[in-house]
Structure 1
């Protein structure tokens, strides 16, 4: 199989298919693909020349068109482009703070349902405070069908710096499908 690959060239097979069209397989050194040979009907020299000219025209046309036009996109204006020199690459990320937020999230997720006595749904906010952390969680207070009619309660949970829960309180309740209060 490896030998057959080395003998193939980038030219197209010059045999005609049953449909009367040129075979699309790559040709070997003799000008035919692995399936055709000299006994098959072939493309005339004028057809070969036309096909090569069409292919060449297609390549020239694609080189002239910008790539964004080929993809059907619109070029960006100067205001929409970002100068790479203007991007602040020296932004420092405090990995300890991220680890702290993740630890608080894990604590809140594992304890919110049990603490509040309702089914835990989501953590919607975690923020550092002077005394530790503040997390806002959502719990399902009443299930309904369809679920857009569920009553969801938003609770604030206070944690110390070690992510130990100090207390919680309900902020509000809303119907899951009611987005008017958040707009």
Structure 2
């Protein structure tokens, strides 16, 4: 993905695409999708990405994980960590 000039601020969709690239590159796992995007006060982004950690049969028993990727204002990875793991068929109740 092309690098933005220093100080350029990505929009949410650009930040999400970059975060997916960072997370899949770091984990070696396929992304299911972006489940959250948040603008940070420093001009960067926190993007939450869901990935398949373990494929199982049936698919409803796949192990998924949620990762948070913090990007700086240039779209570069500043921090990255796994937030949680769960089975695909599991539904969270508030």
TM-score of the two chains, using structure 1 as the length reference? 0.43
1 or 2, which has the higher strand percentage?
Answer: 2
Structure 2 gap segments, 5+ residues each = 1-8
SS at match of 1:163: coil
Q: CA RMSD in A?
A: 1.7
Quote the residue 2:76 is aligned against: 164
1:1-183 alignment to 2 at 5 Å?
Answer: 100-131=11-42, 132-179=44-91, 181-183=92-94
CA distance in 2, matches of 1:121, 1:103: 17
SS at match of 2:89: coil
1 or 2, which has the higher helix percentage?
Answer: 1
TM-score of the two chains, using structure 2 as the length reference? 0.80
Bigger radius of gyration: 1
CA distance in 1, matches of 2:48, 2:70: 9
Q: CA deviation at 1:114?
A: 1.1
SS at match of 1:140: strand
CA distance in 2, matches of 1:139, 1:169: 12
Aligned residues: 85
SS at match of 1:155: strand
Which of structure 1's runs of 4+ aligned residues deviate more than 2 A? none
Structure 1 gap segments, 5+ residues each = 1-96
CA distance in 2, matches of 1:136, 1:109: 9
CA distance in 2, matches of 1:110, 1:159: 12
